[in-house]
């Protein structure tokens, strides 16, 4: 196997690794968006419930508002914890993707330089 073929294979491998890292980032971003959507829905439900509690005195006296707020707090805490974990994972994956991108670029540059040298050698008898 020639050096040029080895470089081409190296470039293909680094491209694949970068594509894999990019796919992982997309999945993590999808998870982040899902959690953020759930948090937004929870905030909307909180606003709606607050208006209902203001208009229905029976719900307040029955303690439904307190139970709702406790449940709401637990849900927010859970979702925010999950979001923090996803964001930490996203940051870790971004670092890996940056490294993979660097390798991909170096391999591509090495292939281009090898091709340029070969062309130069072919022109010079």
Single pTM value for the model:
0.76
- Taking the C-alpha atoms of residue 42 and residue 82, their distance in angstroms, rounded to an integer, is 15
79, 42 Cβ separation under 8 angstroms: yes
Question: What's the average pLDDT block by block, 10 residues per block, for the chain (125 residues)?
Answer: 86 96 97 98 88 70 78 96 98 97 95 84 70
Q: What domains appear along the chain, each with residue ranges and CATH number?
A: 3-117 (1.10.287)
| pLDDT at res. 4 | 80
| pLDDT at res. 124 | 67
pLDDT in tens, 63-79: 777 888 899 999 999 99
Main-chain phi, psi angles of 63, to 5 degrees: 85, 10
- Taking the C-alpha atoms of residue 49 and residue 72, their distance in angstroms, rounded to an integer, is 10
Helix (H) / strand (E) containing 124: none
């Amino acid at each position: 196997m020639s050096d040029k073929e080895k470089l081409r294979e190296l470039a293909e491998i680094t491209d694949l690794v970068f594509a894999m890292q990019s796919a992982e980032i997309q999945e993590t971003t999808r998870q982040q968006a899902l959690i953020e959507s759930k948090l937004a829905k929870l905030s909307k439900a909180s606003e709606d419930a607050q208006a209902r509690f203001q208009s229905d005195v029976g719900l307040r006296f029955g303690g439904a508002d307190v139970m709702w707020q406790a449940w709401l707090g637990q849900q927010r805490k859970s979702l925010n914890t999950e979001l923090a974990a996803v964001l930490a994972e996203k940051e870790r994956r971004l670092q890996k993707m940056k490294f993979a991108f660097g390798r991909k670029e170096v391999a591509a540059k090495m292939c281009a330089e090898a091709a340029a040298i070969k062309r130069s050698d072919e022109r010079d008898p």
